[in-house]
Amino acid sequence: MNPRVVDPVPLLADLIRIPSVNPMGRAVTGPEFYEGRLSDYLCRLFQEWNVPWERLEVAPQRANVLARWEGTPGAPVLLYDAHQDTVPADGMVIPPFEPTISRGRLFGRGACDVKGGLAAMLAAFARLAQTRPTPCATVVLSCTCDEEATSLGIQHLTGAWSAAENCYRLLSRRPDYAVIAEPTQLDVVVAHRGAVRWKLHTRGRACHSSRPQDGVNAIYRMGRVLRELEAYAAALPASRPEHPLCGPATLSVGLISGGSSVNVVPDACTIEIDRRVIPGERREDAIPAVAEWLQERLDFPVTHEAPYVFSPPLDDDRNGPLSDRLLASIAAAAGPHRKIGVAYGTHASRVAQAGVPAVVFGPGDIAQAHTEDEWIDLEQLQQATDIYAQFAVDMAKL
């Protein structure tokens, strides 16, 4: 094993140089899209380190890559998960795939979300494999695909745990605990919102725009829908108790499209809705509640598609002992930190839904994620590496 890889800084620079952009529904136009080349790099890395690893294709050019370090017999199995993909690099004011260090920061697409966390987990994993501490938990490192869009990777992994035949050789049963890498500024996220996203359609009847009275304008209809949804969104936060860590439930309309030409009365219009679900809510109720609200207030039908994002919230009802133990490891390396809740979603809710206590922890600030000059603080990157490595040891001392 090359000792250089234990340093997360050059490791992160390598990860940034390999684009792994999630197309997020757009047409794929260049080689920077998908995670395939980054998965190739990870497989070579684990091969060099001489640790057990496996690669399972989830979709074309998209794979989950796992590695396993066997700890003390009888110690817990600890899952460390970090996603390989990033958001697109449109609008960045720095070269997105040319890592640059300045003022104690490393810049580049994914530096914060979440290749920094991935580099820290990789470096910690390498350190454990090199130093072989005793006692130590068994650590399975999962490098998953498609977190930024539809969560194909983590659903493939967690779904295997309840399948009749688990296709993952290195994680043939549920782990005992899980830590998900996201930028938390070294705090521990114990709760977060879920998300339901879907398309809503209005229909009309097309005709020539010189005689609009002969048609039914689907965009006008959508205008009425939008007014009612604005009222629903305003009433939603007060309709149920706020979560003490995650805040209120919310709804937002983020996209609209309709019509074929300015001289044709449009016969169709579509919007996309984002409904954030707080712990204690059922995501299954989100679309029916909106449908009922609109049905009571409109004199024409609308059509709701099945959700294309259906992510559960993370509740803090089962991860208290895990978060307390992690906070102790954090304090030893970086001073006291907090349990927090956040508005965004992570893989932790999918893992928790599969029956595994899960928390979110990593270097970086979510305020820097997806930004035009994305960066991560290098001191936090080093501290997170130390914490990930030490936590695996601490978990075996229970």
* Predicted local confidence at residue 3, as pLDDT: 40
Q: Which of 16-30, 192-206, 262-276 has the lowest mean pLDDT?
A: 16-30
Residue labelled with tokens 């996603």: 83
Q: Is there a contact between 126 and 47 (Cβ–Cβ < 8 Å)?
A: no
Q: For residue range 62-88, what is the model confidence (pLDDT) as tens digits?
A: 999 999 999 999 999 999 999 999 999
* Predicted local confidence at residue 398, as pLDDT: 74
Residue 226 has pLDDT above 70, yes or no: yes
CATH tag for 3-192+313-395 (out of 3.30.70.141, 3.65.10.10, 3.40.50.300, 3.40.630.10): 3.40.630.10
For residue 93, the tally of other CB atoms under 10 A from its CB is 8
Beta strands at 105-107 and 375-377: parallel, antiparallel or unpaired:
antiparallel
Residue 391 has pLDDT above 90, yes or no: yes
Check for a shared fold between 3-192+313-395 and 194-311.
Answer: no
Mean pLDDT, the chain, rounded, equals 96
Q: Domain map of the chain by residue range? A: 3-192+313-395, 194-311
From the number of C-beta atoms within 10 Å of its C-beta (0-12, 13-18, 19+), residue 166 rates as middle
Hey, what CATH topology would domain 194-311 get?
Alpha-Beta Plaits (3.30.70)
Residue 56 has pLDDT above 70, yes or no: yes
Q: For residue range 25-41, what is the model confidence (pLDDT) as tens digits?
A: 888 888 899 999 999 99
Residue 22 has pLDDT above 50, yes or no: yes
For the whole model, what pTM was predicted? 0.94
Of the chain, the percentage scoring pLDDT greater than 90 comes to 95
* Predicted local confidence at residue 186, as pLDDT: 98
Q: For residue range 169-225, what is the model confidence (pLDDT) as tens digits?
A: 999 999 999 999 999 999 999 999 999 999 999 999 999 999 999 999 999 999 999
* Predicted local confidence at residue 19, as pLDDT: 98
For residue 208, the tally of other CB atoms under 10 A from its CB is 11
Q: How confident is the model at residue 60 (pLDDT cuts 50, 70, 90)?
A: very high
Q: How confident is the model at residue 6 (pLDDT cuts 50, 70, 90)?
A: confident
* Predicted local confidence at residue 4, as pLDDT: 42
Residue 101 has pLDDT above 90, yes or no: yes
Q: How many CA atoms lie within 13 A of 374 on its CB side?
A: 28
* For residues 366-386, average pLDDT: 98
Q: How confident is the model at residue 109 (pLDDT cuts 50, 70, 90)?
A: very high
Residue 155 has pLDDT above 50, yes or no: yes
